[in-house]
């Protein structure tokens, strides 16, 4: 099977045809979960899957499983998947690539008349993006037992429409029960700049960074910019700015792929000649290792306490999100690496800075991911772009890694 | 005349009665310029001025001059004044105190049957606050030749109503021509914390800080907080935060009453898991000496250029306001100081961090100001507060300094 290659043109054409559903004038995609365009995307995928001889099931949260039988029908399947929904101003590749790559693996095996020992399933998970409904990664979260089905179905969008109602409206409220997964593979664009910047074709994903998110409220005292001497001020923005520098310093000096971001900042009263009495900001810390992530937060809290004293303000840090770091299955990660090497692609170990459906699947099955470069590292944007040869390379790696796991 | 004292109760009662016009439930005042409440405030002042035997004139921008003749009718008058308009959520003292103190000086001279050599005028300047119409200090600016009358009359509020229309609507479009001013005195609450914090009754105002205001736009590149390594980021908020610290450092380490404030900050896209690609902020630098103010700005520009390079962003600094520092007339400042000393009040030299009508008047006449403490240094706020004994003390200093200048 080592000589087997996917059909690069067919894979690219499928991606481009899918991108026409919800396609935007700027070349992006708007296919919000559980909308009419999402239904069209799902229908198209199912149409293609049935053409490839796959049996389609839909579960209670609308996850789609397209199954190709194996020699051992009782074995837990190897699942290959990602998501078909997009951001409001999304691109052609985020999510869609992983589903179409799974379909191309199956089509390639059909062409070569290969029967794997273990059954294969191509999965499309509901609402990965979280743009219309929170929480994100809803479908994979329900499948993996992170969220109860009823909880997910009860979530409402900004118009008050529940997930349950929206699923029924597009005809994707299924009845398939959760089932065992023998292994899970997901191909995805990197959504970051590392592969492109290093001229690397394949990212061998070790896992996903853990995340700890905070809301921070800094309270000082408004005062007039003119009459108030510097030494009597209680400037909330000055304290906030010092904290921004600490977040950056901690992330820059910590090991294990540490990242630290202040993405949001608001000050009050936000008037040019008034010393700000309040500043609200966020902190997003990420790390591949939980102990390092904890150490980063501890250091931030120590520095915040010192800044509060020195600036004579109060600083309230409230944790709003905690995802533990995910480490993918070493044997599957190794098979991705050796497939890339055998195929002659440049490759490097990488971690996923963002969460993916694979993060939740890794809780219930051995999991690995394959990254390919995207232009400028840009994603969640209509200009998101990837090269056909990279897209094909990632799919070839996926094919070989799946074959290694599923057996022939 | 050294034994002459103002009537503290009458002064306080006038202030409190005036504060009922546009009075707010929280004890503040909303008397926006050229509104019906402003008309009522003006009418009340004119009624009291005529009761005190003063002759009232109104000029083309609505400034009111209430004149008490002197022995030498041809001499340029000593003018005592401030403004009757308030911020939307203003207090009882900002502006009103200076006008009522001028009226109380005249009433006290009437009671004592004193005729000064030089005529006295109590002035109420139009639109000092700038809340409804910009520019601020419009009336004193027109009177002093800073703004052309037609320019000021053409300004519009947010409803498209011009100053000219609003003046005519309240009956205050007068025809008095500009006239010479022999000297100008203004009493005001400090609007800062220094007098209260040092237990001082009288601030002998040396002048007003110069101001240079900037709009700053910092442009980096949006990127995902997860997948983007720290070393590849172009974080606009990180650069902005470093600039906030520089503004503070420069102001803290510069002489001559240096102040530096970043009052406003906005980031884009302002999403907690996106590295900000843009930050907009303001800088407000103030100093008593123009060369020091210039040096502060030069230093800021040097540091901004270094930060732009280090953070790989662009930083655009655009100057939007420049007021030169004002130095008040030494002989008048000395008379305020000696009056405070002779009256036995604690006093200290101080500079005005904010601009006042006196800043513009100082361009056309020898000028001085008298500051009294306000509670917590708070102004432009409904909880603005001052003690009756301090209000009276400031008025007694004003009386003695005016008498020293006007002669008897």
Same domain, A332 and A402: yes
pLDDT in tens, B285-307: 999 999 999 999 999 999 999 99
Q: Is residue B32 part of a domain?
A: yes
Same domain, B20 and B99: yes
Specify the pLDDT at position B380.
Answer: 87
Specify the pLDDT at position A36.
Answer: 98
Give the DSSP letter of residue A344.
T
CATH number at residue B40: 3.40.630.10
Strands A326-327 and A202-208: antiparallel
Same domain, A259 and A388: no
Task: Inform me whether the pLDDT recorded for A1 exceeds 90.
Answer: no
Chain B touched by A229 (CB under 8 Å): yes
Specify the pLDDT at position B1.
Answer: 80
Same domain, B72 and B153: yes
Q: CB B331: neighbour CB atoms within 10 A?
A: 12
Beta bridge partner(s), residue A319: A214
Q: Is residue A2 part of a domain?
A: no
Same domain, A110 and A125: yes
User: Which of B192, B245, B276 shows the shortest C-beta gap to A228?
Assistant: B192
Q: What is the DSSP string of A326-360?
A: EE--HHHHHHHHHHHHHTT--EEEEEESS--HHHH
pLDDT in tens, B38-76: 999 999 999 999 999 999 999 999 999 999 999 999 999
Same domain, A164 and A263: no
**Model confidence, pTM:** 0.89
Chain B residues inside the 8 Å CB shell of A258: 230
Specify the pLDDT at position B91.
Answer: 95
pLDDT in tens, A244-284: 999 999 999 999 999 999 999 999 989 888 999 999 999 99
User: Which of B226, B240, B272 shows the shortest C-beta gap to A354?
Assistant: B226
Specify the pLDDT at position B344.
Answer: 98
Same domain, A178 and A226: no
User: Which of A238, A244, A380 shows the shortest C-beta gap to B237?
Assistant: A244
Give the range of the structural domain holding residue A218, as residue numbers without chain letter.
210-320
Lookup: tokens for A236 = 């909330």
Q: Is residue B2 part of a domain?
A: no
Chain B 275-304, residues with CB within 8 Å of chain A CB atoms: 275-276, 282, 284, 286
Same domain, B194 and B77: yes
Specify the pLDDT at position A260.
Answer: 98
Same domain, B226 and B349: no
Out of A300, A320, A340, a domain closes at A320
Position A146 confidence tier, pLDDT thresholds 50, 70, 90: very high
Q: Do B284 and A273 touch (CB under 8 A)?
A: yes
Chain B touched by A317 (CB under 8 Å): no
**First vs last C-alpha separation in chain B:** 9
Same domain, A196 and A220: no
Specify the pLDDT at position B21.
Answer: 98
- Return all residues near A168 (Cβ < 8 A) that are at least 6 apart: none
pLDDT in tens, B146-175: 999 999 999 999 999 999 999 999 999 999
pLDDT in tens, A169-223: 999 999 999 999 999 999 999 999 999 999 999 999 999 999 999 999 999 998 8
Q: Is residue B1 part of a domain?
A: no
Same domain, B298 and B331: no
Give the number of domains in chain A: 2
Q: Is residue A378 part of a domain?
A: yes
Q: Do B263 and A225 touch (CB under 8 A)?
A: yes
Round to whole Å and give the CA distance between A328 and A405: 15
Length of chain B in terms of residues written: 408
Chain A residues inside the 8 Å CB shell of B197: 232
Q: Is A8 exposed, middle or buried (0-12, 13-18, 19+ CB in 10 A)?
A: middle
Specify the pLDDT at position A283.
Answer: 97
Round to whole Å and give the CA distance between A368 and A71: 23
Q: Do A228 and B190 touch (CB under 8 A)?
A: no
Round to whole Å and give the CA distance between A80 and A11: 15
Chain B residues inside the 8 Å CB shell of A134: none
Q: Do A224 and B380 touch (CB under 8 A)?
A: yes
Position A2 confidence tier, pLDDT thresholds 50, 70, 90: confident
Distance from CA of B195 to the nearest CA of A (A): 11
Chain B residues inside the 8 Å CB shell of A210: none
Please name which of A223, A293, A226 lies closest in space to residue A257, comparing C-alpha atoms: A293
Q: Is residue B298 part of a domain?
A: yes
Q: Is residue A350 part of a domain?
A: yes
Q: Do B263 and A244 touch (CB under 8 A)?
A: no
Lookup: tokens for B133 = 């119409």
Q: Tell me if ipTM is over 0.85.
A: yes
Chain B residues inside the 8 Å CB shell of A228: 192-193, 259, 353, 377
Q: Is residue A1 part of a domain?
A: no
Q: Do B282 and A267 touch (CB under 8 A)?
A: no
Q: Among A18-22, A81-85, A273-277, whose mean pLDDT is lowest?
A: A273-277
Chain A touched by B262 (CB under 8 Å): yes
pLDDT in tens, B356-397: 999 999 999 999 999 999 999 988 888 999 999 999 999 999
Q: How remote is the C-alpha of A235 from its chain's centroid?
A: 38
Out of B323, B355, B390, a domain closes at B323
Out of B323, B346, B366, a domain closes at B323
- When scoring B90, B272, B320 by the number of chain A Cβ atoms within 10 A, the one with the most, hence best to mutate, is B272
CATH number at residue A263: 3.30.70.360
Give the chain B residue nearest A287 (alpha carbons).
B226
Q: How far is CA A27 from CA A83, A89, A137, in A?
A: 19, 10, 25
Contact criterion met (CB below 8 Å) for B326 and B208: yes
- When scoring B129, B261, B296, B373 by the number of chain A Cβ atoms within 10 A, the one with the most, hence best to mutate, is B261
Same domain, B120 and B265: no
Chain B residues inside the 8 Å CB shell of A223: 192-193, 377-378
Round to whole Å and give the CA distance between B238 and B232: 13
CA dihedral B359, B361, B367, B373 (to 10 degrees): -50
Strands A265-268 and A278-287: antiparallel
Chain A residues inside the 8 Å CB shell of B226: 191-192, 209, 211, 259, 286, 352-355
């Amino acid at each position: 099977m080592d000589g087997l290659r996917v059909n690069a043109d067919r894979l690219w054409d499928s991606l481009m045809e899918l991108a026409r559903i919800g396609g935007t004038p700027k070349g992006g995609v708007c296919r919000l979960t559980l909308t009419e365009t999402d239904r069209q995307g799902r229908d198209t995928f199912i149409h293609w899957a049935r053409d490839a001889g796959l049996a389609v099931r839909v579960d209670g949260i609308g996850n789609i499983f397209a199954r190709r039988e194996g020699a051992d029908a009782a074995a837990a399947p190897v699942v290959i998947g990602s998501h078909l929904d997009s951001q409001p101003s999304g691109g052609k590749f985020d999510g869609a690539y992983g589903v179409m790559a799974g379909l191309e693996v199956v089509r390639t095996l059909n062409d070569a008349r290969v029967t794997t020992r273990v059954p294969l399933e191509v999965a499309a998970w509901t609402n990965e993006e979280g743009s219309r409904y929170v929480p994100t990664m809803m479908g994979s979260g329900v499948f993996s037992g992170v969220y109860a089905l009823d909880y997910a179905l009860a979530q409402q969008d900004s118009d008050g429409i529940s997930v349950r109602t929206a699923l029924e409206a597009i005809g994707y409220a299924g009845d398939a029960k959760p089932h065992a997964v023998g292994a899970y593979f997901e191909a995805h664009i990197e959504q970051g700049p590392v592969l492109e910047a290093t001229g690397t074709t394949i990212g061998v994903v070790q896992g996903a960074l853990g995340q700890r998110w905070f809301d921070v409220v800094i309270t000082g005292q408004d005062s007039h910019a003119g009459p108030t001497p510097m030494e009597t001020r209680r400037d909330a923005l000055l304290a906030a700015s010092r904290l921004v520098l600490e977040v950056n310093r901690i992330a820059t000096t910590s090991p294990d792929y540490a990242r630290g971001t202040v993405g949001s900042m608001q000050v009050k009263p936000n008037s040019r000649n008034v010393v700000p009495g309040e500043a609200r900001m966020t902190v997003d810390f990420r790390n591949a290792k939980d102990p390092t992530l904890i150490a980063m937060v501890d250091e931030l809290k120590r520095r915040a306490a010192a800044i509060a004293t020195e600036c004579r303000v109060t600083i309230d840090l409230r944790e709003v999100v905690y995802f533990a770091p995910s480490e993918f299955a070493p044997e599957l990660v190794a098979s991705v690496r050796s497939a890339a090497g055998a195929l002659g692609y440049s490759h490097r170990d990488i971690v996923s800075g963002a969460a993916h459906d694979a993060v939740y699947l890794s809780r219930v099955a051995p999991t690995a991911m394959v990254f390919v470069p995207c232009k400028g590292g840009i994603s969640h944007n209509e200009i998101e772009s990837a090269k056909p040869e990279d897209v094909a390379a990632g799919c070839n790696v996926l094919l070989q890694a799946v074959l290694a796991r599923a057996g022939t």
